[in-house]
Structure 1
């Protein structure tokens, strides 16, 4: 009977050891990746993060400690808070994605609160983060996040202007497997100047035959830059038609076919674009539905004339 009781006691001790919390606040044992992931509330797409959500009070007991932060980066809040400002980090959501997994972290300081979307690979390794929401910057701009079922990231920034007016800017991104993001479209109702276009690939190399900027009017451009090899290219397209009532914006990587033709196919949708290059011109045409990147009554189509580079203009003057 004593031996039987000892066996039962041993089983109970082993069970208690297995059920003991392995890590976290108030324990000395190292935190595992599973423990770290368990700190975040499981979620699914679509997902939204607003300034109102960030302003909800978070208990100090949920604050991420040093053991947890080793799974992220020690530069998570760099550039968003003053040097000596005390900042608390809280886990919000963990969401599985198509290419990467997402973890949403709140950073709360005395001046404002910021939301970060962290990208993790499928093995749980931290790759990168972007700032996606905040309760108010120094110029009064607030930002919110919308992550849809197709893994398109939309960051909406709103700034109050005089009276009851406000300026809204919406940036749409796709995330790559290495954690980098690609800007695919920008919508804005804020004041703009004719001829001023933000080109996210402007500084990239343009040594290939068809690389350069092709324009049609002040606010429409097809920008082509060198790819990773002679058979590929990077592009950025933005246009404004019907007095600004119909706009479109798209960027990505295409490949050359049959010498002077190129094509692009979006991996996340049916969107496709064909490029036809000729002497100093490019014509584009939709070959698939690109409605997510433009207005419903206009298309990615038309002819664009290549701009003469400044260096070439200087040579002509000589």
Structure 2
């Protein structure tokens, strides 16, 4: 075979490899390459509002085709009335049983962040909105995850000018990607005569899900749990003696009209008894970490209309 023929075959092979090799567009990117566009981070991790709002160049934006390919094409549609949403990679880090990507979504009015959850084989499981700023609401959200993979979403709401209420919701993220609310802390400045209910806007389709009051300063708020056997609750009371208490968490129904809460970190336990439009609670464990020393989580409450 002469040298001219060898050169011709070599050129033909090169052209064949070039045309039939790497594909163009979203199909050309593997998930490993997609993940490499995110900043490599480690637990614990925190995203502040300032970091969320940091300007990102158009060159770093993620192609929406990649969002559909590796995540879900409805990632931010429910949270942004405008369809002109741009996505940006923020961070990538690994947990014990699942991996995480933090993705920023923004339009001209507001910015949000989503925690996307994957199994160890890089299969997409779920997404959780964990931060948001801007928009018409007088509030901002941001989040952190500790070394034990406890997710904390903090919401700061300007109730009135100069007065801000802060709510911290703590979640566990399971191996299947689902999340469960564990507890809620309500801190920040309080408005005299005004009670801030951190679970007020959560679903209440269950027949017992409602607000139960006793006077002006005591309330038990019940909301739907993740299944029919569970419920979320928030209890806040202030007695004339000056004794106050506040606790929130997830309870379990133990009978058709009975429920019970057991705190994982303390001996605190609370029993719930539902009867028509009435709710009675009784402390069944030491809940001193959540109330004054001379009062208990107990008493009768009437369902509010």
Give the shorter-chain TM-score range.
0.5 to 0.7
Deviation (angstroms), 1:236: 0.9
SS in structure 2 at match of 1:128:
strand
**Which residue of 1 is the match for residue 269 of structure 2?**
273
Q: How many correspondences in the alignment?
A: 274
**Which residue of 2 is the match for residue 47 of structure 1?**
45
**Which residue of 2 is the match for residue 204 of structure 1?**
205
* Counterpart-to-counterpart distance in 1, 2:146 and 2:164: 23
**Which residue of 2 is the match for residue 91 of structure 1?**
89
In the alignment, structure 1 residue 133 sits paired with structure 2 residue 132: yes
Question: Which segment drifts farther, 49-58 or 75-84?
Answer: 75-84
* Counterpart-to-counterpart distance in 2, 1:153 and 1:300: 29
The structure with more strand, counted as a fraction of residues = 2
**Which residue of 2 is the match for residue 167 of structure 1?**
164
Deviation (angstroms), 1:32: 2.9
* Counterpart-to-counterpart distance in 2, 1:57 and 1:29: 28
SS in structure 1 at match of 2:77:
coil
* Counterpart-to-counterpart distance in 1, 2:295 and 2:129: 29
* Counterpart-to-counterpart distance in 2, 1:226 and 1:202: 9
Deviation (angstroms), 1:65: 1.8
SS in structure 1 at match of 2:73:
coil
* Counterpart-to-counterpart distance in 1, 2:61 and 2:104: 10
TM-score, normalisation: structure 2: 0.67
SS in structure 2 at match of 1:52:
helix
**Which residue of 1 is the match for residue 58 of structure 2?**
60
Gaps of 5+ in 2: 1-16
* Counterpart-to-counterpart distance in 2, 1:48 and 1:62: 21
Deviation (angstroms), 1:89: 0.9
Change (3 A) 1:92 1:227: closer
* Counterpart-to-counterpart distance in 2, 1:158 and 1:248: 19
* Counterpart-to-counterpart distance in 2, 1:298 and 1:122: 47
TM-score, normalisation: structure 1: 0.64
SS in structure 2 at match of 1:68:
helix
In the alignment, structure 1 residue 37 sits paired with structure 2 residue 35: yes
Aligned CA RMSD, in angstroms, stands at 4.4
* Counterpart-to-counterpart distance in 1, 2:165 and 2:147: 23
* Counterpart-to-counterpart distance in 2, 1:28 and 1:114: 24
**Which residue of 2 is the match for residue 74 of structure 1?**
73
**Which residue of 2 is the match for residue 234 of structure 1?**
231
Q: Is the 8 A contact 1:169 1:187 kept in 2?
A: yes
Q: Is the 8 A contact 2:243 2:294 kept in 1?
A: no
Deviation (angstroms), 1:52: 1.5
